[in-house]
Amino acid sequence: MDYRRHVVIVGFGNLGQAILPLLRAAFPTYTLTAIEQHGDEARVALANAWGVRFIVRRIDASNYADAIGPLLARGDFLLNLAPAVESAALIQLAQQRGAFYLDTGIEPWAYALGDADSTTNYALRQQLLTLAKIRRGAPTALVAHGANPGFVSVLAKCALVEMAERFNLNAWRNRVPRSRDEWALLAADLDVRVIQISERDTQRTATPATGDTFVNTWSVDGFVAECLQHAELGWGTHETQLPAGARRYREDGRAAPAIRLATNGIDTKVLTWTPLHGAFESHVLTHNESISVADYLTLADADGRPRHRPTVYYAYRPIDAALAYFPLLAGGFPSPDDQREGLSETRVLKDELVTGVDELGVLVMSGRGESLWLGSALSIERARKLAPLNNATSLQVVSSVIGGMHWMIEHPRAGIVESDAIDHRTTFERVQKFWEPIQRVWTRWRPGGTELRFGDFLCRPPVARDDSVDLVASHCQTESA
């Protein structure tokens, strides 16, 4: 009865630090431990200031059980906030110890970029779905639950409910779906054809970034890995033709709900739309929610064949300072020992930011003619008022983590769960204040044909100039319809 619950954080970088003020407010009696491979003075000082036990150790496949296992007991939390620390391994360890588990993205021990199959988001998700089948009823592990993937799945459900009211669908009057099949039926009744997880980040410093440091508002390593992996997206039933060179995944001899493009995130550009910016050019980065949302909203017939599924993908425009370094990624990201001219360090921007907004939400597009953009327009100024140690981007992520932790306490034996399956109303209410102002904007914007096929959004590929590839130049027409 005297045991104090414990939160073990693997990774004390951007998110591991940003979550501290929210953890202290939401779970004031819990003790905190952070495990991090870098033991620099700044991290040590921050851990001491927030009363965090700090362990300097790199977690890998050979030591994770010995390093983490003794720290966990029944009812504790294991938060995996580190890149390249395998989700499947840590989930099983946490469940064996009776502890809860949460990560913000499904991780392998190491990423294989280029044309590799093993670390695509599709492959990583399939690994956990297989594990989930044999671990039903185990202590709850909520996977891929940050901002996106994560809270955007909650926003997608909220948007579908609002669209049902807008379109005055009699079958859904005063009725909210209670099962996965009902959510898929609602999406089909609404004729939802496209869900873009749409984001534009305009946070900036007082002066433009210069020199050899690659900066971003979240993990540079994670961002670069997404940029260099092949783009993946959920593939809708209204699509008539695969993009050139695309590969369709297969499950049990049938077409899976996702495809992989022949181009990586840097080279895959689409038009998207947000309330603050209208139409603009963005990059399609591989993300778990592109596959999980499409899968969750698949309406199948009696034989299991899909009758309706939307096309789902992440359309992202990072801060201008990050875009400026895209040309350096044409040959792959250098290792820390690589002294390639033009890039030697990376840094996440927080204290240096002076203004800007991370506009992040879901653009749910219906064949009925109207679309709904629902999401956040959180500014750096408001983020600082709400929580120290954060910028707008990190606060959107860690607030969702806190919301997920509350849900797990209420559902302690749910096994391995994706964000799409959790209660949308309660989770939205818990996280909402950290994402405000919330924008609900209806639009008739269309980039091309009324069928809303992926090719209507896709931009022309970059062209070679002077024997190099210009990865920053615009290749889209951005006039709104």
CATH H superfamily, domain 151-391+424-469: homospermidine synthase like (3.30.360.30)
- Of the pLDDT bands very low, low, confident and very high (cuts 50, 70, 90), residue 461 is low
Which has more confidence, 339 or 278? 278
Q: How many whole angstroms separate alpha carbon 256 and alpha carbon 253?
A: 9
Closest CA to 313 of 126, 473, 156: 156
Is a pLDDT exceeding 50 seen at residue 337? no
Residue ranges of domains in the chain:
6-143, 151-391+424-469
Q: Is 433 exposed, middle or buried (0-12, 13-18, 19+ CB in 10 A)?
A: exposed
- Of the pLDDT bands very low, low, confident and very high (cuts 50, 70, 90), residue 467 is very low
- Of the pLDDT bands very low, low, confident and very high (cuts 50, 70, 90), residue 465 is very low
Phi, psi of 61 (to 5 degrees): -65, -25
Is a pLDDT exceeding 90 seen at residue 49? yes
* Arithmetic mean of pLDDT over the chain: 91
Which pair of tokens denotes residue 64? Answer: 């994770």
Where does 253-401 show beta strands of DSSP type E?
Answer: 254-264, 269-274, 278-285, 299-300, 306-308, 311-317, 345-348, 353-355, 357-366, 371-379
Q: How many whole angstroms separate alpha carbon 3 and alpha carbon 169?
A: 51
Fold of 6-143: Rossmann fold (3.40.50)
Position 471 scores a pLDDT of 24
Least confident residue range of 163-177, 264-278, 290-304, 319-333: 319-333
Compute the CA torsion angle 91, 92, 98, 102 (nearest 10 deg). 0
- Of the pLDDT bands very low, low, confident and very high (cuts 50, 70, 90), residue 441 is very high
Is a pLDDT exceeding 50 seen at residue 472? no
CA distances from 11 to 54, 295, 306, 353, 384 (A): 10, 30, 40, 23, 22
CA distances from 354 to 16, 324, 376, 383 (A): 22, 19, 19, 12
**pLDDT tens across 185-221, in order?**
999 999 999 999 999 999 999 987 766 788 999 999 8
Is a pLDDT exceeding 90 seen at residue 169? yes
- Of the pLDDT bands very low, low, confident and very high (cuts 50, 70, 90), residue 1 is very low
Closest CA to 306 of 230, 378, 363, 255: 255
Strand partners, 30: none
Least confident residue range of 3-12, 271-280, 284-293, 324-333: 324-333
What percent of the chain stands above pLDDT 90?
A: 82
Over range 226-239, report the average pLDDT.
Answer: 95
Phi, psi of 173 (to 5 degrees): -70, 125
**pLDDT tens across 351-363, in order?**
999 999 999 999 9
Over range 331-360, report the average pLDDT.
Answer: 72
- Contact status, residue 81 vs residue 15, Cβ threshold 8 Å: yes
Phi, psi of 175 (to 5 degrees): -140, 130
**pLDDT tens across 287-321, in order?**
999 999 999 999 999 888 999 999 999 999 999 99
Position 332 scores a pLDDT of 54
- Contact status, residue 281 vs residue 320, Cβ threshold 8 Å: no
The separation between the first and the last C-alpha atoms of the chain, rounded to the nearest angstrom, is 63
In a 3-state reduction of DSSP, which class is residue 261? strand
Least confident residue range of 68-77, 245-254, 273-282: 245-254
Position 212 scores a pLDDT of 74
Least confident residue range of 203-207, 265-269, 310-314, 446-450: 446-450
Over range 82-103, report the average pLDDT.
Answer: 97
Least confident residue range of 160-174, 264-278, 456-470: 456-470
Q: How many whole angstroms separate alpha carbon 388 and alpha carbon 19?
A: 9
Least confident residue range of 68-82, 241-255, 257-271, 428-442: 241-255
**pLDDT tens across 351-409, in order?**
999 999 999 999 999 999 999 999 999 999 999 999 999 999 999 999 999 999 999 99
Position 335 scores a pLDDT of 47
Is a pLDDT exceeding 90 seen at residue 419? yes
Length of the chain equals: 481
